[in-house]
Amino acid sequence: MQLSALFTPQDFVIGLEAPDKWAAIERLVGCLEATGRLAPGSAAETVAAVMERERSMSTGMERGLALPHASIEGLPRVIACMGTIHDPRGLPFESIDRRPARIVVLLLVPRAQKLLHIRTLAEIARLLSRESVRDALLAARSGEEAWNALLAGESSRSTSA
C-alpha cells in the first residue's frame, strides 16, 4: 500500500499540541471527523476503541514514532491521520525506546480486514523508520508539505530498492 494514497493533505495535524497521548488520540480522531473521513457522530466510539487498544499495550514505537490504532466495526475502508509535534520534548507515549513521540499516526481499519491492518502498520513503520522521512515530516509546515514528504520518501525507497 502506498501511504501517500492513504493520506490526504487534510489528514495532517501540523504542530500537534496535546498534554498527553489520550488528548492526542482525541485530537486526531476529531480531525478525521472534521474532514469527513470519519462518519459524523462516530468520534466518541472511535476514540474509545483506540484508547482501549492503547490501554492493552502502548503503541509507542522507536525513533519518536507512535502508531495508535484500532479495528472499527462498519468502517468502509482504512483511514489515517498523522500529527507532527514541533516541541522537541515530544509527547510521552510509553515507547519501546523510552523516547517521546514526535510523529503520531492514527490508523483505523475495518474490523474484518485484519491482514490489511497488519500490512498497513508494517508499511507505516517501515517508511517512518527512515530518519530522512521523519525529518522531512517534522520540518513540514503544512499538510501539503507533509504529504509531499511521504510521497518523496516512497519514491526514494522504490528507486533505491
**pLDDT 10s digits, 3-37:** 778 899 999 999 999 999 999 999 999 999 999 99
pLDDT digits (tens, 9 = 90+) for 76-97: 889 999 999 999 999 999 998 9
The values of phi and psi at residue 13, to 5°, are -105, 100
Q: For residue 152, report the phi and psi dihedrals to the nearest 5 degrees.
A: -65, -40
Q: Which domains does the chain have, with CATH numbers?
A: 3-160 (3.40.930.10)
If you write DSSP's letter for every residue of 110-136 in order, what string do you get? ETT-HHHHHHHHHHHHHHHTSHHHHHH
Distance of CA 121 to the CA centre of its chain: 9
Q: Is the pLDDT of residue 116 over 80?
A: no
Task: Give start and end residues of each alpha helix (H) in 3-142.
Answer: 3-6, 21-34, 43-56, 114-128, 131-139
CB 35 within 8 Å of CB 11: yes
Of the candidates 80, 78, 71, the one whose C-alpha atom is nearest the C-alpha of residue 103 is: 80
pTM: 0.91
Residue 157, pLDDT above cutoff 70: no
pLDDT for 159: 45
